[in-house]
Amino acid sequence: MATFRDLLSQAKASITEVDTAAAEGRLGTATFLDVREPDEYSQGTIPGSIHIPRGQLETNVEGRVLDHDAEVVVFCAGGTRSAFAAKTLAELGYTNVVSMAGGFNRWKDESRSWKVPQSLTAEQRNRYQRHLLLPEVGEAGQLKLLDKKVLLLGAGGLGSPAALYLAAAGVGTLGVVDMDVVDASNLQRQVLHNMDRVGDRKVDSAKKTITLLNPDVNVVAYDTRLGADNVLDIIDGYDVIVDGTDNFPTRYLLNDASLLKEIPVVYGAIFRFEGQVSVFHPYVGPCYRCLLPEPPPAELAPSCAEAGVLGVLPGIIGSLQAMEAIKLLLGLGDSLAGRLVAYDALETSFRTFKMRRDPDCPACSIPKDQIRIAEYDDLCMPHPIAPPAH
Ligand SMILES: [Zn+2]
């Protein structure tokens, strides 16, 4: 029977070892894989490392290191567990793996860079388990979400589903701007609120619902009307804005302010059985004024108070807005910048229209210091459903 020493020397004979200096030379290009136990990892690791304890290596590595030909530097505390891990990785078909001799202890003794990793609590690990299973999100992505700030304009039909899903996903800070009170006629679609909250401020009701759903989320309530006097202060510091407003003056105000602050806006609009979603990403894609340079004259804008809407529709459009917001926060996939998706509920069809930046746009083609933050007349939203001209 082989002893431990025999197994270790067999493993070391079959793998490549590098010293700490050679490993350090691979920072930035190679994937560093820490195979120590969670309590060792939590006290410090090499910045940017992936952590998979040795005992979970076979089951987890293929979900975390997708490319079998990727350059991988495995390390543990002293170089023994990483030697066995490197052998296992070769057996799993990884072709470019080295084990770091001396391990993290030698690395640290030689004063090479290390840091205490941020990590999720046990409750968070359980709550976000289905995110952690996605290699595209994982613990690093979840920590990123917990660190991000999204501003919701409106706690109404679009803001409700967006707020619920962003809160459930663990976006750490949600700002909510709304100056209305909950009315029973809102409950047909505004699912943040309920019968007990009729007559309450919408921002207070939103805060209660979100906090009950996920105590990780810090809710910042703005019980105020968004205007030229406060828009720049309110949106400052947010990573993404989810636009659930229903009127032209606010959309133009928001557009111009978001250009100044360079904050992407996830746009949503609903009318009867039709909805639209897009992303206005300042100076990356078109802005709202590239589509509609100026608000339409008042006589062409129907009153939004009288327009009907099927209650499920904002649920669909607001959920798409939440998804686009998460993609922007994590840098996942292709955002809707430069595209407008139009949903027709009666046909059950989604149509995508390409939109380009207008070189003559009155907002995003001029120098930033010429952008004027001004109020428009109080028109209501006609929800342009026709595809944009370009
Ligand atoms: Zn523009």
90-115 mean pLDDT: 96
User: Is the pLDDT score of 304 beyond 80?
Assistant: no
225-231 mean pLDDT: 94
| Distance between Cα 251 and ligand 1 center (Å) | 13
State residue 297's pLDDT score: 66
| Distance between Cα 338 and ligand 1 center (Å) | 11
The whole-angstrom separation of Cα 268 and Cα 278 is: 7
302: pLDDT confidence band, cut at 50, 70 and 90? low
| Distance between Cα 219 and ligand 1 center (Å) | 31
153-182 mean pLDDT: 98
84-108 mean pLDDT: 97
User: Is the pLDDT score of 370 beyond 80?
Assistant: yes
State residue 382's pLDDT score: 37
| Distance between Cα 210 and ligand 1 center (Å) | 34
| Distance between Cα 256 and ligand 1 center (Å) | 9
Q: Please list the alpha-helical segments (H only) found in the chain.
A: 4-14, 20-24, 38-41, 57-64, 81-91, 103-109, 122-127, 129-132, 138-146, 159-169, 202-213, 231-235, 248-261, 288-291, 312-330
| Distance between Cα 81 and ligand 1 center (Å) | 56
Q: What are the φ and ψ backbone dihedral angles of 181, each rounded to 5 degrees? A: -110, 155
Residue 277 CA to its chain's centroid (Å): 16
| Distance between Cα 361 and ligand 1 center (Å) | 5
Say what percent of the chain tops pLDDT 70.
94
User: Is the pLDDT score of 83 beyond 90?
Assistant: yes
State residue 378's pLDDT score: 56
210-219 mean pLDDT: 98
CA torsion through residues 210, 214, 217, 218, sign: positive
User: Is the pLDDT score of 385 beyond 70?
Assistant: no
The residue assigned the tokens 């139009």 is: 342
The whole-angstrom separation of Cα 355 and Cα 362 is: 16
Point out the least confidently predicted range of 14-18, 24-28, 87-91, 301-305. Answer: 301-305
pLDDT tens per residue across span 113-125: 999 988 899 999 9
One-letter amino acid of 71: E
Q: Whole-model pTM above 0.85?
A: no
The whole-angstrom separation of Cα 69 and Cα 90 is: 10
State residue 390's pLDDT score: 44
User: Is the pLDDT score of 379 beyond 70?
Assistant: no
State residue 372's pLDDT score: 87
Specify whether the CB–CB gap between 38 and 55 falls below 8 A.
no
State residue 298's pLDDT score: 62
